[in-house]
Homo-oligomer: A and B are copies of this chain.
Amino acid sequence: MARWEPNASGRLTEAAMELFAERGYGKTTVEDIAARAGLTERTFFNYFTDKREVLFAGSEHFVKQVVDAVRAVPKSSAPLDTVIWAYESTNDFFEERRPFARKRSALIAAHPELQERELVKMMSLAAAMAEILKERGTSASAASLAAEAGLAVLRVGFEQWVKDTKDRSLVFHLRAARRQLEAVVDRAKKGARAG
């Protein structure tokens, strides 16, 4: 039996992020991470399947929170509102971990294989959102469009939130991205009608 270690998962995550910053992601091993956290490799593997999972374990929590939130939105809401409100509900979750989110984003941006994994996770989130919208009576194609347009808002809003030197909230940046999506679609609509 592994000995119970207080906050092992948090200590391992912190150790991993330090080492990724010091040596680079590619040169950090699970052994290094466990040693830095003062824990064993076995304890590491109780929490994460591999070193990549240190960066993605939180996203399961995120997906669960978003899916629970979307089910709580009144069914009369517009599909895109439903999706964006669900993302807004994660504001406090992310606020608490902005420093981690910043380091994580920089790491992902620097490694194509991590980017790919992030994209696949994000697209499965959009697919899950589209399924929920369909269950709530939205047509399949409107559900996909709302889920994928909502994902575009999340991706842009999140990127702005990570980069924001003024530390404004995720909700602030999601709303800004949403207004920008509206402007992008409006401008095209006018162009198409004039053309």
Assess whether A142 is in contact with B180, with CB atoms less than 8 Å apart.
yes
Interface status of A153 (Cβ within 8 A of chain B)? yes
Contact pick for A188, options B84, B119, B151, B159, CB 8 Å: B84
Q: Inside 8 A of A78's CB, which chain B residues have their CB?
A: 184, 187-188, 190-191
Whole-angstrom distance between the alpha carbons of A4 and B145 in the complex?
46
Interface status of A181 (Cβ within 8 A of chain B)? yes
Interface status of A80 (Cβ within 8 A of chain B)? yes
Whole-angstrom distance between the alpha carbons of A187 and B182 in the complex?
11
Chain multiplicity (copies): 2
Q: Inside 8 A of A142's CB, which chain B residues have their CB?
A: 180, 183-184
Assess whether A185 is in contact with B181, with CB atoms less than 8 Å apart.
yes
Q: Which A151-195 residues have C-beta < 8 A from chain B?
A: 151-153, 155-156, 159-160, 177-178, 180-185, 187-192, 195
Interface status of A34 (Cβ within 8 A of chain B)? no
Q: Inside 8 A of A123's CB, which chain B residues have their CB?
A: 119, 123
Cross-chain pairs A/B with CB under 8 angstroms, 6 sampled: A78-B188, A141-B156, A144-B159, A145-B184, A148-B155, A185-B185
Interface residues of A (CB under 8 A from B): 77-81, 84, 116, 119-120, 123, 141-142, 144-146, 148-149, 151-153, 155-156, 159-160, 177-178, 180-185, 187-192, 195
